Amino acid sequence: MMQKDIQPKYEAVEVRCACGNTFKAGSVKDEIKIEICSECHPFYTGKQKNIEAGGRIDKFKKRFKMD
């Protein structure tokens, strides 16, 4: 048999991002603060840069003379 009133309340709360964006989500907490969301994350905004770290591929090709 389940005990009554031992489960926390699951409610819709407002999530606030550091960029100022807010949205609703379900949680047992009163309020949620986050540092990064889908509105400001580089992957979702298209501002992500794929940078080759130090030309590793070119170094490898030169070292082993691959063309």
Known binding positions: 17, 19, 37, 40
Enumerate the known binding-site residues for Zn(2+). Answer: 17, 19, 37, 40
For residues 55 and 62, what is the distance between their CA atoms, to the nearest angstrom?
11
Q: Which of 65, 15, 21, 67 is closest to 40 using CA atoms?
A: 21
Largest CA distance in the chain: 72
